[in-house]
A = this chain, B = another copy of it.
Amino acid sequence: MTVRVGVLGATGAVGQRLIQLIDPHPDFELAAVTASESSAGKSYREAAKWRIDAPIPDHIAEMEVVATDADEVPDDVDLIFSSLPSSVGAEVEPEFCEAGYVVSSNSSNGRMDEDVPLVIPEVNADHLDVLEVQRDERGWDGALLKNPNCSTITMVPPLKALDEAYTLTDVTVSTLQAVSGAGYSGVTSMEIIDNAIPHIGGEEQKMESESRKLLGSFDGAEVHLHDMGVAASCNRIATIDGHLENVWADTADDVTAEDAAETMAELPSIDLPSSPETLIEVFEEPERPQPRLDRSLGNGMTVSAGGFRETDDGVQFNCLSHNTMRGAAGASVLNGELLAEHGYI
């Protein structure tokens, strides 16, 4: 079965990555690309300033961009990927759901809403059924599924492994984030060459809340947030792709550095096209993972971890993922696959 998909915000940085992933996808076929009014009517080639280091597929380059409006997208589109600025997403995504579309969204709006599932398929696929509650409450034919923020996605699979085995009590995390996470024009060159920025607006709050939802439990009616404490500090550095994070995880049960590494290495992947063979690649070398060397593991969908050291109350380690693949476009595509697998499409 081929699922016909549309991409909202297709000309942006994440939108381009979505195109790049959908084009060769075994189950998805790109049927609509949307952008702001000013781009409507143009060819995708014209509207998108293509910045990915692989050529834009020709047949996609020729597609006509339509405005981001449920009326403009063909009815036979089965699945919508959304990568809109959150203020736009907050307005438009419900309209698509209302109109019957199933939406897998990377936009940050609504992620913490009680009836919106926030999912990383390998971590909390069981939260998908929050969609039943959502449909009940909102009366939608469609559905709205969110993936978390790129910096949250990076640390949650490793934390999931630790939580299952040793029960997390407190998490402290410092991030070294790539500029692509801010979009194509989000960070100027004068801001970042020979420099670092120790603040990313709203990012710390996202990491602190989203991680507790992802590791929370769903009882069929609502998601109970994990009661661990989470404290984050977010930095922008001069890397193109790949978020690197230093994590201190305090646990209820004793854990050694070796055990922590092993439990992460053993966290299983799942059987979806975009899920990598190895979910968490564990490095023995203390200086790995590194953004440029390790962000592309598993087609950019593998999370990597290393630098394990025991602390007084748990373990510290570093982790990394490709922020526009595992952390954004790939996360949405994977959620789209999960929706298809579970019959929501």
Inter-chain contacts of A51 with B (CB < 8 A): 190, 293
Q: How far is the CA of A297 from the CA of B55 in the complex (A)?
A: 8
Q: Is the beta-carbon distance between B196 and A291 smaller than 8 angstroms?
A: yes
A293 with B53, Cβ < 8 A, contacts A172-B172, A199-B307 known: yes
Inter-chain contacts of A290 with B (CB < 8 A): 195-198
Cross-interface CB contact of A240 among B190, B235, B237, cutoff 8 Å: B190
Interface string of A307-320 (1 = CB under 8 A from B): 10101100010100
Inter-chain contacts of A312 with B (CB < 8 A): 229, 231
* A286 adjacent to chain B (CB < 8 Å): yes
> Which of A189, A197, A237, A316 gathers most chain B CB within 10 Å?
A189
* A233 adjacent to chain B (CB < 8 Å): yes
* A1 adjacent to chain B (CB < 8 Å): no
Q: How far is the CA of A195 from the CA of B197 in the complex (A)?
A: 15
Q: Is the beta-carbon distance between A246 and B235 smaller than 8 angstroms?
A: yes
For this chain, the copies found in one complex come to: 4
Cross-interface CB contact of A198 among B196, B238, B244, cutoff 8 Å: B244
Distance to closest chain B CB from A225 (angstroms): 15
Of A33-41, A117-125, A174-182, A334-342, the one touching chain B: A174-182
Inter-chain contacts of A318 with B (CB < 8 A): 198-199, 233
Distance to closest chain B CB from A267 (angstroms): 19
List residues of A (14-44) whose CB comes within 8 Å of B's CBs. Answer: none
Q: Is the beta-carbon distance between A195 and B239 smaller than 8 angstroms?
A: yes
Q: Is the beta-carbon distance between A193 and B176 smaller than 8 angstroms?
A: no
Q: Is the beta-carbon distance between B199 and A292 smaller than 8 angstroms?
A: no
Q: Is the beta-carbon distance between A237 and B198 smaller than 8 angstroms?
A: no
A293 with B193, Cβ < 8 A, contacts A246-B233, A246-B235, A307-B233 known: no
Interface size class of A (residues with CB under 8 A): 35 or more
Interface string of A266-306 (1 = CB under 8 A from B): 00000000000000000000111111111111000000001
Q: Is the beta-carbon distance between B238 and A189 smaller than 8 angstroms?
A: yes
Inter-chain contacts of A195 with B (CB < 8 A): 239, 290-293
Distance to closest chain B CB from A310 (angstroms): 10
A296 with B54, Cβ < 8 A, contacts A188-B185, A231-B248 known: yes
14 A-B contacts (beta carbon < 8 Å): A53-B294, A176-B196, A184-B190, A187-B190, A188-B188, A193-B194, A194-B239, A197-B287, A198-B287, A198-B306, A198-B307, A199-B287, A229-B312, A233-B248
Additional A-B contact list (19), CB under 8 Å, known A185-B185, A189-B238, A231-B311: A53-B293, A53-B296, A54-B296, A185-B190, A187-B190, A189-B193, A193-B292, A194-B291, A195-B239, A196-B244, A196-B290, A198-B318, A199-B287, A199-B307, A229-B312, A231-B248, A233-B248, A233-B307, A238-B238
